[in-house]
Amino acid sequence: MRVLLVQPAFKKTEISYPLGLAYLSSTLKQHGHETIGIDLSFNSNAEAVSLVREKRIDHVGISLTSFNLSSGLEFLRYLRNNAAVPVPVASISE
């Protein structure tokens, strides 16, 4: 299984990957899965969707906090409309 782990846009000055996603990646790798991480503070939604298509991503994990909720939901809407990856519709209602 290939999993894309996403940090939504938050600060364009903070260059660090979230510890929670790093732990999740480590555990997934220990169980034989491939993971790729992307930080949308430095990459666009379109770049993330291109990665989903190129790498044939099976699942997307996203780190949502109160600080990045709006940009995270924006990304999920974009993903739902532009890639063939399951996205829970209830969590991103218009």
Contact call for residues 41 and 10 (beta carbons, < 8 A) = yes
Residue 15 sits in a domain of what CATH number?
Answer: 3.40.50.280
What SS3 class is residue 58?
Answer: coil
Residue 67 lies in a domain: yes
pLDDT tens by residue, the chain, 94 residues: 999 999 998 876 666 778 889 999 999 999 999 999 999 989 999 999 999 999 999 999 998 888 888 899 999 989 989 998 877 655 555 5
Residue 92 lies in a domain: no
- The number of domains in the chain is 1
| Rounded Cα gap, residues 8 and 61, in angstroms | 11
User: What local confidence, expressed as pLDDT, does residue 18 receive?
Assistant: 81
> What residue numbers bound the domain in which 30 lies?
2-85
Residue 94 lies in a domain: no
Of the candidates 82, 75, 89, 73, which has an alpha carbon nearest to the alpha carbon of residue 45?
75
User: What local confidence, expressed as pLDDT, does residue 45 receive?
Assistant: 95
Count each helix (H run) and each strand (E run) in the chain, helices first: 3, 3
